[in-house]
Chains A and B, each alone.
Chain A
Amino acid sequence: MRLIGISALVLVLWAPHPIWSSSEPVYRNPFDLAVSKDGNTLLVACSGSDSVMVMDAFEGTLRTEIPVGDFPTSVRIDPERGIGLVTNRDSDSLSLINLKRQHVVGTIAVGWAPMDLVINPQTGHVLVANSQSRDVSVVDLERAKEIKRLQGGAGPRGLVVGPDGRYIYLANLLPNPHPPDQQPVPEVTVIDAKREVVIDRIGLDGANLVYGVDIAPDGALLLALSRPKNLLPLVQVAGGWTMTSGMGVVRWQHSEGNAGAKAAQLLLDSVNRHYAEPTDVAVDRLGRRVAVTAAGADELVIVDLGKMVEILDGVPVDALALLGDRLDLSHQYILGVAPTGARPVAVELSPDGARAYTANRLDDSVTVVDMATGLTLETFELGEPQEISQLRRGEKLFYNAADSFNSQISCGSCHPDSNQDGLIYDISPDGLGRNYVDTRTMLGVGGTGPFKWSGLNPTLHRQCGPRAATFINRSAGFDPDELDDVVAFMWSLELPRNRHLDRSGELNILQAWGKEIFERTVDNDGIEIPPEMRCNFCHSGARYTNLKSFDVGTGTELDKSGSLDTPSLNHLTETAPYLHDGRAMTLEELWTVFSPEDTHGRALDLSKDELNALVEYLKCL
């Protein structure tokens, strides 16, 4: 009996990773769409099938499908040139489509992981938001060349041109680097369209996950965003305000000849009704109505912009910040809510503003909504495979907030794009401000167990099951079948290509030197380094973790224990900040600031150039 019990425990701890079909169906995963100027044609960028579907905007019939680059993320129509433009996230490229001949006529290299684009009316150049290189590529189509890059914020995501064409605005998904005990402040980057230089950066205090942006005819900037209260115990989700969803509104005030931004945030959420994960926003040409996708709720929210502005005008400037936490206002400006397909990540309006189209990424469809009534008019099926695989089911669960209290948050609320949100959280109910933990990426998470920074959860089933239900979602959680699906999906999340590593896989001279340092056994004084003090002792194996916990002196008085799970080292540049509590802004600080006694591996004997080589190697893993 006892043996059986132990065996069962061993099976739970060492359960093989979930098995899923190797012949996973190819889903189209629509990611963005564009409507032609005459309103007759709909272009849908499909990130799963690496194609753009050209459809009749009224009938929903497919005219043609054009292969583009890997993982297309945005599509725009340039009516003057008669071309379509597509950003390809995984190819780091911009595709040019001849819309008459309906094929790609050119591909131009841009920055890392492009997510959106606009055509600059002042120069004719195309500006591309690169989420990983954190910049904006300026592309000259005539020369078929990227001519410069502008510094963006953290995770450039959405671009829009102002109504007078003088300015271009960039929405950035994540907060700029900040002390972990401070609230996040993502920025809106303001670009002078004529000079194509950054002239201002507007902070969105307390916001995060700024996915989408559009602009009203009067110049008011509208942003789809979330507002995390990550420094407060997450169990407060039950209070309805730990993770709220809303809109940013940036208007311009003029006094004494100076223009200044007047930024405010208003929630879509109310006390008992949440619209998780706003990902895109579109305003009609009269500036009356705004469509906002609630991607975690499978809904499209229609907002009365005039009413929203009326509320803003009634509040003194110094009190605007308080609006961001008001759960009692949205009934005044939400006109209607339309159900959509699974995970509507993008919305586009017809030129007359009468119809809204949503790209439903997780069920391969486009929902058409009547902006006047808020009713769903029809659904265009893009041809989802008949088989809904376990991974598909798991991904839908991962990105849907239905399983959390009042449908506030999904797994994707802290793991956007299955990565991480750049924040620390107070998850455990052990007192305010204790055991803060940095959000870890889900990319490549399979095989890195045990999980949690404390290393106490041996499996993802344990991590994402009752524990998540109790401490995070405050709900019944996933049922066993759902949990299997979610875990299978998480296991399937592969590491993306690391842009710091050459496509050939060869290390450059600096990286190769860093690898030698990473694997060294003797320090600069000629003394053998004890095995446990070598980098590749803890950080070993395919994921650069030996799956064990160690105390390397990084714990603080706020932590229950200094013994912490060894994190994977893959894709470090996309997972800042570092350490379990996000104290280290950069990789260098791991040793120069947070290992004063040389306890985090033998490193303090390194010269500055050796440390730099080590860091450059770590970046390319």
Chain B
Amino acid sequence: MSMRMGIVMARVCDRSTLLKSGMILALIMGVGRPLIGADLRGDVTVIPRFETWTTFTVEDGLPSDKVFALASEPGRLWVGTEDGLALLEDGRWQQYGTAEGLVYAVVTDLAIEPETGDLWISTFGGLSRLSGGRFDNFTQLDSGLVNDVVYAVAAQGHRIWAATAAGTSAYDTWKDEWEIFTNRNAPMNEICCYGLSVGEGKVTLAVWGGGVLQYDLETERWREYRDPDHEMEIDLLPDDGLVSDVVASVAHEDGILWAGTYFGANRYDGRRWQSYAKEDSGLASNFINRVVSEGPTAWFATDAGLSHFDGEVWTTYSTAPEGEEGGLITIRQGESVHTTQTNTAIAHNFVLAVARRNEEIWVGTEEGLSLGLPSQRSTDEGSEHDLRGGKQR
């Protein structure tokens, strides 16, 4: 076998099965089954299983190995790192730092304006727009950006939203007008906005210590989602609302709100909350750095690997235990768990960013950027990018 494979039978229990006072033997899952989820329109989202990983680091052309943010468009991949921005195009890496005009080196998030193709870059020192090679910079001193520590950025048409350590700003690029949202005009018990998602007429904020806030663009009203038990680190009652008010990231798509906190994850379909913890689901860790939706499914970048949930099945990608080579794919459905060992793995289990496109996935970690492909295909033939360099590990 070119790839060491194994199937691990496991007994697991979660809170729901405990309530039923039963321990159920896990079922053996089919290897290679694509992940499928259906969105509200009935469209099917097919997500391949990624078994071959190639990692890119500073040696290949990244400005830093610590990758905070990713943005993908046809033929291009933008990578935000701890020490600047990088572009992968035509097999070449190009770096952009403060010398090239970037407002600050530590890039936290990226957003592509869908209509114009302009790239918005949030950093720990302000907000940049890269348009046709020109950087336009916005800081708290020279614009309506509420704070220079910008954690997230998103484009809602020609309105750009920036979540910062002291509130959220919205910039209308057509009118050149800024609006600021803080505890003064929004129900922010805390003003540290960590994550941001726009879509379906709503702007959703992850507020660190303040739960989730959702702004309806039509009614211009806020809706607040908080942890009902008010316990920051403990979720007393599952599925009753947010697991914690310490929300790091949100995603809103297909009518589903996903929340990633430092103490677990949530899914909310407008009627019912569902809570997910490492202990009773396939989530790799309760410490979630970022959640990224894909149709009705979601990716969770955690400190212990990358998890995907399609509503039924959890799939987690991680490195093999210390001392072993390669990686693990752990699949869980209900109480059934199986683990597949792969020859290659993501660069590091501390995952910070995810970008999906066609048959590939890009994963930003603390120690490099990894490209995942569905099978044993090499990066040369498997990626839409003309790739050179990178290492399999």
Contacts and interface: CB of A to CB of B under 8 A. Distances in A.
A535 interface: no
Interface in B148-174: 158, 166-167, 173-174
A609 B174 contact: no
Interface stretch (B112-120, B231-239, B288-296, B320-328): B112-120
B166 A588 contact: no
B71 to A, nearest CB: 15
B335 to A, nearest CB: 49
B149 to A, nearest CB: 13
Contacts of A150: 116
A589 interface: yes
A473 B179 CA distance: 45
Binding site of A, secondary structure by majority: helix, strand, loop or mixed? mixed
A185 B352 CA distance: 39
Given A148-B115, A608-B147, A588 B142 contact: yes
A619 interface: yes
A199 B174 contact: no
Contacts of B177: 500, 510, 616, 619
B98 interface: no
Given A197-B116, A609-B167, A612-B144, A151 B133 contact: no
Interface string B99-112: 00000000000000
Contacts of B134: 176, 187, 201
A190 interface: yes
Nearest to B140: A608
B20 interface: no
Given A148-B116, A187-B134, A510 B141 contact: no
A609 B158 CA distance: 21
B309 to A, nearest CB: 34
Given A149-B173, A150-B116, A195-B117, A589 B178 contact: no
Contacts of B143: 586, 588
Binding site of B, secondary structure by majority: helix, strand, loop or mixed? loop
A197 B117 contact: yes
Nearest to A257: B90
A128 to B, nearest CB: 13
Given A111-B174, A573-B176, A608-B180, A201 B132 contact: yes
B182 interface: yes
Contacts of A151: 116, 118, 129, 131-132, 136, 173
Nearest to B142: A586
B133 A201 contact: yes
A609 B132 contact: no
B272 interface: no
Interface string A31-67: 0000000000000000000000000000000000000
Contact of B178 (A111, A176, A499, A616): A616
In this complex, the member of B118, B132, B142, B184 whose beta carbon has the largest number of chain A beta carbons within 10 angstroms is B132
In this complex, the member of A133, A150, A609, A616 whose beta carbon has the largest number of chain B beta carbons within 10 angstroms is A609
A606 to B, nearest CB: 12
Interface in A175-232: 176, 187, 189-190, 195, 197-201
B355 interface: no
A593 B141 contact: yes
A199 B116 contact: no
A198 B174 contact: no
B132 A588 contact: no
Given A500-B175, A616-B177, A609 B146 contact: yes
A517 to B, nearest CB: 13
Given A151-B131, A609-B146, A133 B176 contact: yes
Contacts of B175: 133, 499-500
Given A151-B131, A198-B116, A198-B118, A609 B182 contact: yes
Contacts of A277: none
Interface in B263-287: none
Given A149-B116, A151-B118, A609-B184, A589 B142 contact: yes
B132 A199 contact: yes
Nearest to B117: A197
A85 interface: no
Interface in B118-140: 118, 129, 131-134, 136, 140
Contacts of A134: 176
A495 B116 CA distance: 32
B174 A135 contact: yes
Contacts of A197: 116-118, 132
Which bracket fits the contact residues of B? 20 to 34
B143 to A, nearest CB: 6
Nearest to B157: A148
Nearest to A187: B134
A338 B144 CA distance: 51
Interface residues of A, number: 35
In this complex, the member of B117, B144, B185 whose beta carbon has the largest number of chain A beta carbons within 10 angstroms is B144
A111 B178 CA distance: 18
Nearest to B134: A201
A198 to B, nearest CB: 3
A138 B291 CA distance: 34
A354 B140 CA distance: 56
A200 B131 CA distance: 8
Interface in B182-203: 182, 184-185
B142 A198 contact: no
Contacts of B144: 588, 612, 615-616
Interface string B312-347: 000000000000000000000000000000000000
Contact of A612 (B131, B133, B174, B180): B180
A592 B141 contact: yes
Contacts of A187: 134
B338 to A, nearest CB: 45
A586 B175 CA distance: 15
A585 interface: yes
B76 to A, nearest CB: 12
B142 A585 contact: yes
Interface string A580-621: 000001101100110000000000000011001001100100
A29 B142 CA distance: 39
Nearest to A148: B115
A64 to B, nearest CB: 36
A187 to B, nearest CB: 7
Contacts of A176: 134
A612 B131 CA distance: 25
B142 A608 contact: no
Contacts of B142: 585-586, 588-589, 592-593
A196 B131 CA distance: 13
A151 B174 CA distance: 9
Contacts of B173: 135, 149, 151
Nearest to B185: A609
Nearest to A199: B132
Interface in A405-441: none
Contacts of B132: 151, 189-190, 197-201
A349 B211 CA distance: 65
In this complex, the member of A176, A573, A615, A616 whose beta carbon has the largest number of chain B beta carbons within 10 angstroms is A616
Contacts of B146: 608-609, 612
A448 to B, nearest CB: 25
Nearest to B138: A586
Given A198-B117, A198-B131, 9 more contacts: A111-B174, A148-B115, A148-B158, A149-B116, A151-B173, A201-B134, A589-B142, A608-B167, A612-B180
12 contacts: A111-B174, A134-B176, A151-B131, A198-B117, A200-B132, A201-B132, A201-B134, A500-B177, A608-B180, A612-B180, A616-B177, A619-B176
Give the 3 A-B residue pairs with the shortest CB-CB distance, closest first. A198-B132, A197-B117, A148-B115
Interface of B: 115-118, 129, 131-134, 136, 140-144, 146-147, 158, 166-167, 173-180, 182, 184-185
